[in-house]
Amino acid sequence: MRVAAAEETGDAAVLRAMLDAEAALARAQASLGLIPARAAEAVTAAARDGAFDPLSLAERARWGGNPVIPLVEDLRAAAAPYGVFVHRGATSQDILDTALMLVAHRALGPVTDHLELVAGRLGGLAAEHRDTVMAARTLTQQAVPTTFGLKAAGWRELAAGARTRLLAARQALPAQLGGPAGTLRPTDARADSGGADGDRAGGDRADGDGADGDVGLRLLAAFAAETGLAEPVLPWHVLRAPVADLAGALAFAAGALGKLAADVLVLSRTEIAEVREGAGGGSSSMPHKRNPVRATMIAAAARQVPALAAILYGSLAAEDERPPGAWHAEWQPLREALRLVAGAARDAAELVAGLRVDPGRMRANLDVEGTPGSAAALVTRALSPRTAPGRSRAGGGPGGAEAAGHGTGDA
- Identify the weakest region by mean pLDDT among 51-55, 112-116, 121-125: 51-55
- Identify the weakest region by mean pLDDT among 154-168, 209-223, 289-303: 209-223
- Please state the domain count of the chain: 1
Q: How many helices (H) and strands (E) would you count in the chain?
A: 13, 4
pLDDT at 401: 38
Average pLDDT score over the chain: 85
- Quick one: three-class SS letters along 203-251? CCCCCCCCCCCCHHHHHHHHHHHHHCCECCCCCCCCCCHHHHHHHHHHH
Q: Which residues are CB-neighbours of 3 under 8 A, at least 6 positions away? A: none
**Contact 29/219 with Cβ under 8 angstroms?**
yes
Catalytic residue among 56, 130, 283, 386: 283
Task: Determine, yes or no, domain membership for 369.
Answer: no
Average pLDDT value for residue range 222-240: 97
Helix (H, G, I), strand (E, B) or coil at 174: strand
Task: Determine, yes or no, domain membership for 231.
Answer: yes
Task: Determine, yes or no, domain membership for 259.
Answer: yes
**Contact 156/126 with Cβ under 8 angstroms?**
yes
Q: What percent of the chain has pLDDT over 70?
A: 79
Output the domain CATH number for residue 70. 1.20.200.10
pLDDT at 10: 92
pLDDT band at 139 (very low <50, low <70, confident <90, very high): very high
Give which of 26, 27, 37 is closest to 85, Cα–Cα: 26
In Å, how far are 105, 158, 325, 328 from 164, measured between CA atoms? Answer: 15, 10, 32, 29
The DSSP result for 119-151, as a single string, is HHHHHHHHHHTTT-EEEEEETTEEEEEEEHHHH
Q: What percent of the chain has pLDDT over 90?
A: 71
The DSSP result for 301-345, as a single string, is HHHHHHHHHHHHHHTTS--SSS-SSTTGGGHHHHHHHHHHHHHHH
Task: Determine, yes or no, domain membership for 107.
Answer: yes
pLDDT at 3: 60
pLDDT band at 280 (very low <50, low <70, confident <90, very high): low
pLDDT at 213: 54
For this structure, is 322 an active site residue?
A: yes
Measured from the Cβ of residue 39, the count of other Cβ atoms closer than 10 Å reads 28
Task: Determine, yes or no, domain membership for 376.
Answer: no
Task: Find the domain containing 72 and state its range.
Answer: 3-359
> Which of the two residues, 141 and 395, has the higher pLDDT score?
141
> Which of the two residues, 371 and 120, has the higher pLDDT score?
120
Give which of 123, 128, 160, 161 is closest to 147, Cα–Cα: 128
Condensed to tens digits (0 to 9), the pLDDT of residues 326-376 reads 999 999 999 999 999 999 999 999 999 999 999 999 999 998 755 445 555
Catalytic residue among 38, 200, 322, 363: 322
Task: Determine, yes or no, domain membership for 401.
Answer: no
pLDDT band at 291 (very low <50, low <70, confident <90, very high): confident
Longest dimension (CA), the chain: 108
Task: Determine, yes or no, domain membership for 110.
Answer: yes
Q: Using CA atoms, how far apart are residues 327 and 244, in angstroms rounded to an integer?
A: 12
Which amino acid, one-letter code, is at 34? Answer: L
pLDDT at 251: 98
In Å, how far are 21, 32, 95, 282 from 27, measured between CA atoms? Answer: 10, 9, 14, 53
Q: Using CA atoms, how far apart are residues 401 and 118, in angstroms rounded to an integer?
A: 52
Task: Determine, yes or no, domain membership for 239.
Answer: yes
